[in-house]
Chains A and B, each alone.
Chain A
Amino acid sequence: MSTTDLAYQYNSVSTYTRENGINSLVLAHQTEIETVNNIPCFFWGTLTDPYTTAKCWSTIAKVVRSSFGPVPPSLRDPIVSAGTERIRFEGFSSCNGVYVRLDMKPESIDGEFIASGTTNVDFNDPMLNALNSIQKNEKVTLAVGQEDVQVITAKTKVTEKKVTLPTRWIKGLTSVQLYLADMELKFELNKIQTIQLFQTLPKGNVKGEFYITKRAGKFTFSTLTTADSVRVGGIHRLRLLDGILAIAEKVYIYESADRQTCAVVCEFGKMQLLMAFSPDAYRGFSGEGKVLENMTENVPMEWVYGLNSLLKSNETFDPTLLSIEHDIDFGTMDQLTSSLSSVGLLGYDLMARNHFYRQLPFKTERILSLNPRLKNAKKLIDNEEVQVIRKEPGYIEAIVKGSDVQHKVVMDDKGDRCTCQWFTTYQGKRGICKHILAVKMVI
Chain B
Amino acid sequence: MNKHLKYIDGTSDKFWQIEVNEASYTVTYGKNGTSGTSQTKSFDSNEACLKTAEKLLNEKLKKGYSENGEVLVSPGKPKPEKAGQSSKTDISVIIEAYDQLIKTKNKQGLLPFLEEYTKGNVEGLKKHIKKSKRYWVDYTDLSQDPDFKKRKGSDWGHRGDQQQIELVILSAIAVMDRASINAWDEVLNALKDADKPFTLEVLQWARPSWLGDFLLDRAKRNEWQRIDYNVLRFLETHGLLSFQPELYALCLGGYSEWSSAVKGRTFIRKVADDPVAYERDVPELFNYETGLNNSYFRDNDKEAYDAHHTWAIIYDTLLAEGKLSRDYFIEQTILIQTKDWNNTLKSFFRKKMIELDVQPAELLPHQESLFACLQHAATPVVNFAIELIKKIQDHDDFQVRSFLDWLEPLMMSSSHKGAVKTILTILEKLNKRYPEYHTKITSLLADIYVIPDLGLQEKASKLLLKIASGNDAELSEKLTSYAALMQGNVKSSLSILMNEEADPVVPETFENYQYIPAQEKVLVDEVVLPQDWNDILFLFGKFIASEDIIDAELLLNTLITQKHLFPEDYSGQLQPYHKQLEKGYFEELYKYYVSVFLKQKIQDLQMPFSLNEKSYRTVNTLLLIKPYLFAVQKRIDSGKQLPMLSFPTHLPYWVAPEVLLQRLITCQNEGEDIDKLDLSIAISRMPREDTAAAIPLLEQLSGELKDLMAFCLGVSKKITFKNGSFMNKLLSVVKTAKDEDLKSRWAMAARTYYPDETFPEFEGTDLESVPFAVSPFKPVITIDERWDEYQNYQTKKKERTPSWYEINFDLPRDQKGLDYFIYAGDLINKKRGWDYGLSNAGNVYHWNSMMPQNPDALAYFMLRSSCYRSDYGGHELKGFLNILNGPGFRFSEATTLVLACIFFQDKKDIRLMAAETLINLVERQALDLKLLSEKIVFLIAHKYGPFSRLVESLGSLKDNSPLHNAAFLQVMENIFKNLDTAEKLPVNFKKLVEHYVDILSKTNQQPDVAVSLVFEKLKDNAALKTLIKQILK
Taking Cβ atoms with an 8 Å cutoff, the residues of A that contact B are 1, 62, 65, 72, 74, 125-126, 129, 132-133, 135-136, 158-159, 162, 192, 195-196, 199, 202-208, 215-218, 222-224, 239, 242-243, 245-247, 365, 402, 404-408, 410, 412, 414, 417, 419-421, 423-427
The complex places the Cα of A424 from the Cα of B583 at a distance, in Å, of 13
B369 at interface, CB cutoff 8 A: yes
Look across to chain B and name the residue whose beta carbon is closest to the beta carbon of A137: B402
Instruction: Identify B220's interface contact among A74, A195, A196, CB under 8 A.
Output: A74
On whether the beta carbons of B41 and A365 are closer than 8 Å, the reply is yes
> In the docked arrangement, what's the CA distance between A204 and B885, Å?
26
Q: Are A133 and B369 in contact (CB under 8 A)?
A: yes
Question: When the two chains form their complex, are residues A224 and B917 in contact, meaning their CB atoms are under 8 A apart?
Answer: yes
Other-chain residue from A133, A217, A245 in contact with B372 (beta carbon distance below 8 A): A133
A348 to chain B, nearest CB (A): 28
Q: Digitize B987-1030: 1 where CB-to-A-CB distance is under 8 Å, 0 elsewhere.
A: 00000000000000000000000000000000000000000000
A-B contact pairs, 10 of them (CB 8 A): A136-B405, A203-B415, A203-B908, A218-B959, A222-B916, A224-B885, A246-B375, A404-B579, A410-B534, A419-B540
Which chain A residue lies CB-closest to B286?
Answer: A129
* A208 B917 Cβ-Cβ under 8 A: no
Residue in A129, A162, A246, A405 whose CB lies within 8 Å of B579: A405
Which residues of B (391-419) have their CB < 8 Å from a CB of A?
402, 405-406, 408-410, 412-415
Stretch at the interface among B253-261, B348-356, B570-578: B570-578
Q: Are A419 and B576 in contact (CB under 8 A)?
A: yes
- Closest Cβ neighbor of B965 among chain A residues: A216
Tell me if A129 and B909 are in contact (CB < 8 A): no
Tell whether B287 is near chain A: CB-to-CB under 8 Å: yes
Most buried by A among B482, B484, B544, B916: B916
Is A125 touching B246 in the complex (CB atoms < 8 A)?
A: yes
In the complex, whether B377 has a CB less than 8 A from a CB of chain A is yes
Cβ distance B329 to chain A, nearest Cβ, rounded Å:
15
Question: Which A residue's beta carbon lies closest to that of B910?
Answer: A223
Residues on A with beta carbons closer than 8 Å to the beta carbon of B246 = 125
* B913, CB-defined interface residue at 8 Å: yes
Cβ of B244 within 8 Å of any chain A Cβ, yes or no, is: yes
Question: How far, in Å, is B24 (CB) from chain A's closest CB?
Answer: 11
Q: A88 to B485, alpha carbons, bound, how many Å?
A: 38
Known: A136-B405, A224-B916, A408-B537. A208 touches B909 (CB 8 A): yes
Is B37 touching A1 in the complex (CB atoms < 8 A)? yes
Query: Do A62 and B912 touch (CB < 8 A)?
Result: no
Q: When the two chains form their complex, are residues A420 and B576 in contact, meaning their CB atoms are under 8 A apart?
A: yes
Residues of B within 8 A of A205 (CB): 908
Q: Please measure, in the bound complex, the distance between the C-alpha atom of A406 and the C-alpha atom of B450, giving whole angstroms.
A: 62
> Nearest residue in A to B379 (C-beta to C-beta)?
A203
Q: Is A223 a contact of B409 with CB atoms below 8 Å?
A: no
Q: Which of B287, B375, B579 contacts A126 (CB 8 A)?
A: B287
* CB neighbours of B912 from chain A (8 A): 202, 206, 223
Taking a contact as CB atoms under 8 Å apart, the answer to whether A419 and B577 are in contact is yes
Which residues in A have their C-beta under 8 angstroms from that of B406? 136
**B39–A1 CB distance below 8 A:** yes
Is B409 a contact partner of A246 (Cβ separation < 8 A)?
Answer: yes
In the A-B complex, list the 5 residue pairs whose CB atoms are closest, starting with the nearest. A246-B409, A424-B541, A242-B377, A223-B913, A419-B576
How far, in angstroms, from A125 to B41 measured CA to CA in the complex?
37
Q: A167 CB to closest chain B CB, in angstroms?
A: 16
Bound Cα distance A284, B408 (Å): 36
Question: Which residues of chain A are near B916, meaning CB under 8 Å?
Answer: 222-224
- Apart from A158-B245, A243-B377: 11 A-B pairs, beta carbons within 8 A: A129-B286, A129-B287, A132-B338, A196-B450, A202-B908, A206-B909, A223-B913, A365-B41, A405-B576, A419-B537, A427-B541
B335 and A425 within 8 A (CB)? no
Contact of B335 among A132, A192, A199, A206 (CB under 8 A): A132
B889 within 8 A of A: no
Q: Decide yes or no whether B545 CB sits under 8 A from chain A.
A: yes
- Is there a chain A Cβ closer than 8 Å to B316's Cβ? no
**Which range holds the interface residue count of chain B?**
35 or more
Tell me if A421 and B580 are in contact (CB < 8 A). Answer: yes
Complex Cα distance A204/B37, Å?
A: 52
Q: With A and B bound together, what is the CA distance between A1 and B16 in angstroms?
A: 14
Instruction: Indicate whether A423 sits within 8 Å of B541 (C-beta atoms), given known contacts A74-B220, A215-B960, A216-B960.
Output: yes
Is A417 a contact of B534 with CB atoms below 8 Å? yes
Min CB distance B52 to A, Å, is: 12
Chain B contact surface mostly: helix
Instruction: Please determine whether B213 and A424 come into contact, CB atoms closer than 8 angstroms.
Output: no
| Bound-complex Cα distance A194 to B39 (A) | 53
Chain B 253-287 per-residue mask, 1 if CB under 8 angstroms from chain A, else 0: 00000000000000000000000000000000011
CB-CB under 8 A from A74, the residues of chain B are 220
Residues from chain A with a CB closer than 8 A to the CB of B244 are 159
CB-contact partner of A406 in B220, B413, B572, B919, under 8 A: B572
Contacts of B414 in A (CB 8 A): 199
In-complex Cβ contact of A405 among B37, B42, B575 (8 A): B575
**Smallest Cβ-Cβ distance to A222: which chain B residue:** B916
Chain B, 367-385, CB within 8 A of any chain A CB: 368-369, 372, 375, 377
Q: Contact string, B231-245, partner A, CB cutoff 8 A, digits 1/0?
A: 000000000001011
Whole-angstrom distance between the Cβ of B766 and the nearest chain A Cβ? 45
Kindly state the separation between the CA atoms of A419 and B541 in the bound complex, as whole angstroms: 7
In the complex, per-residue mask of B570-606: 1 if CB is within 8 Å of any chain A CB, else 0: 0011111101100000000000000000000000000
A224 neighbours in B (Cβ, 8 Å) = 885, 913, 916-917, 920
A275 to chain B, nearest CB (A): 15
Nearest-neighbour CB distance to chain B for A160, whole angstroms, equals 11
Cβ–Cβ < 8 Å partners of A62 in chain B: 340
B286: min CB distance to chain A, Å: 8
With CB as the reference atom, state the residue of chain B lying closest to A420: B576
Contact of B413 among A126, A195, A402 (CB under 8 A): A195
Q: Is A419 within 8 A of B573, CB to CB?
A: yes
Q: How far is the CA of A215 from the CA of B408 in the complex (A)?
A: 26
Min CB–CB distance A299 → chain B (angstroms): 15
* CA gap between A203 and B377 in the complex, in Å: 11
Give the distance in Å from the alpha carbon of A192 to the alpha carbon of B448 in the complex.
11
Is A419 a contact of B538 with CB atoms below 8 Å?
yes
CA distance A126 to B249 in the complex (A): 13
Q: How far is the CB of B919 from chain A (nearest CB, A)?
A: 8
Residue with the highest number of chain A CB atoms closer than 10 Å, among B245, B402, B538? B538
CB distance from B537 to the nearest CB of A (A): 7
By a CB distance below 8 angstroms, the chain A residues around B402 are: 135-136
In angstroms, Cα B569 to Cα A405, docked, is: 13
From 215 to 236 in chain B, residues with beta carbon under 8 angstroms from any chain A beta carbon are 220-221
The docked-state distance in angstroms from the alpha carbon of A16 to that of B335 is 16
- In the complex where A125-B287, A206-B912, A239-B377 touch, is A133 in contact with B959 (Cβ < 8 A)? no
Find chain B residues with CB under 8 A from A125 CB: 246, 287-288
B242, B286, B408, B412 — which one has the most chain A CB atoms within 10 A of its CB? B412
A424 and B221 in contact (CB under 8 A), knowing A1-B37, A216-B960?
no
**Complex Cα gap A125–B580 (Å):** 47
- Docked CA distance A74–B218 (Å): 12
Q: Is B978 in contact with chain A by the CB < 8 A criterion?
A: no
CA distance in complex: A245, B377 (Å): 10
Complex Cα distance A414/B213, Å? Answer: 54
Collect the chain B residues with CB atoms within 8 Å of residue A158's CB.
245
Chain B residue numbers with a CB within 8 Å of A135 are 368, 372, 402
Distance between Cα atoms of A246 and B377 in the complex (Å): 10
Task: Let me know if B580 and A202 touch, CB within 8 A.
Answer: no
B409 with A424: CB separation less than 8 A:
no
Min CB distance B959 to A, Å, is 6
Contacts of B579 in A (CB 8 A): 404-405
A65 vs B541: C-alpha distance when bound (angstroms): 38
Query: In the assembly, what is the distance between CA of A184 and CA of B377, in Å?
Result: 30
- Which chain A residues lie closer than 8 Å to B39 at the CB level? 1
B410 — which chain A residues lie within 8 A by C-beta?
246
Residues of A within 8 A of B41 (CB): 365
Asked whether any CB of chain A lies closer than 8 Å to the CB of B339, the reply is yes
Q: Does B576 lie within 8 Å of A133, measured CB to CB?
A: no
The answer to whether residues A202 and B372 also contact, given A196-B450, A247-B409 and a CB cut-off of 8 A, is: no
